[in-house]
Structure 1
């Protein structure tokens, strides 16, 4: 019986060894698969985090650029408003020139006009009464005779010189608009350096 017990014992021992070996192989396989999956999940998580960081950085850059554009636009709008006020204030000041200031301005303009013969001055409402008859006589010379029309141009200052259907516009609003078109950029550079 001893021999049978030894054979049974050997078979059981062999079974325990096989089970232990199988258990170790399976445990190693499971650990290896777990490690691989863990590394894969970690890699996926890292990629996901990196992708989210990239998206956040892009979103941040877009918002930053948008804010910078909005600030630049707001600054530009303020500068344009300031320039608009400056030009309007210039017209307003010209509209309130004294008689002497207006006459000096008109004299400088008329002396450079390529007009001969009889010409008509049509005054803006704010300039009415600032050119006397004596001033008109003094400005008239052998080549040019000036007459003031009785009708005025409402809500503006300055004048228009008319001769044979040709009009030379020296209304203050028109002069300032012309300067604004030509010199606005230079004026803005000087003001906002």
Structure 2
């Protein structure tokens, strides 16, 4: 019996050793797999942190750009509003001209134009009291006759000269608008540099 017990003992010992070897091998494999997964998760974590940081920077830049654009737009709107107010006030100040100033302006415009024949002078509603046929008669020559029209241009200051269907517009709102259209960039540069 000793021999059978020895063989059983040897088989058990061999089985135990093999089981230990398999156990050790399996533990090593599991640990190796575990550490690989931890390393992979660590790499994934670092990549996600980098990705999140880049995304955060991108979102921050977008917000910053949007805010800068909003500030620029608000500044531009304020400047445009100020310029609009400036041109509106200019028109209002011209509308307030006294008779002498208005007549100097009209005289200057009449002397610059090379007109002949009969020309009709249409005054704006706010300028009608600053001009008379008597005053216009001083510009009458053998080539030119100015006739003050009874027709008044409503809610306007300045005047329109009409000859043979052609009109020369000297209404203050139109003149200021023309300056606004052609000179706005120069004026803005002077004001806001």
* Fold shared by both chains (TM-score > 0.5): yes
Equivalent position SS for 1:77: helix
User: What is the root-mean-square deviation of aligned Cα atoms in Å?
Assistant: 2.0
Once the 2 structures are TM-superposed, how far is the Cα of residue 16 of structure 1 from its aligned partner? Answer: 3.5
Residue correspondences, number: 193
Superposed, 1:99-138 pairs within 5 Å as 99-138=99-138
Give the stretch that moved more between structures: 172-181 or 56-65: 56-65
**C-alpha distance in 1, partners of 2:172/2:12?**
119
- Equivalent in the alignment of 2:185: 185
**C-alpha distance in 2, partners of 1:7/1:93?**
125
Q: State TM-score, norm by structure 1.
A: 0.89
- Equivalent in the alignment of 2:39: 39
1:36-72 superposed Cα distances (whole Å, 9 cap, x missing partner): 1111222222223332333222222222222222222
Say whether the 8 Å CA contact 2:122–2:161 is kept in structure 1.
yes
Task: Structure 2 unaligned segments of length 5 or more: list them.
Answer: none
- Equivalent in the alignment of 1:90: 90
Equivalent position SS for 1:126: coil
Once the 2 structures are TM-superposed, how far is the Cα of residue 4 of structure 1 from its aligned partner? Answer: 5.8
- Equivalent in the alignment of 1:151: 151
Greater than 6 Å deviation, 4+ residue runs: none
**C-alpha distance in 1, partners of 2:86/2:60?**
38
- Equivalent in the alignment of 2:18: 18
**C-alpha distance in 2, partners of 1:172/1:142?**
30
Once the 2 structures are TM-superposed, how far is the Cα of residue 115 of structure 1 from its aligned partner? Answer: 0.6
Once the 2 structures are TM-superposed, how far is the Cα of residue 130 of structure 1 from its aligned partner? Answer: 0.8
Say whether the 8 Å CA contact 2:158–2:170 is kept in structure 1.
yes
Once the 2 structures are TM-superposed, how far is the Cα of residue 177 of structure 1 from its aligned partner? Answer: 1.1
Task: Structure 1 unaligned segments of length 5 or more: list them.
Answer: none
**C-alpha distance in 2, partners of 1:182/1:99?**
28
**C-alpha distance in 2, partners of 1:5/1:125?**
134
Equivalent position SS for 1:169: strand
Say whether the 8 Å CA contact 2:91–2:176 is kept in structure 1.
yes
1:133-166 superposed Cα distances (whole Å, 9 cap, x missing partner): 4422322233322121122111110001111221
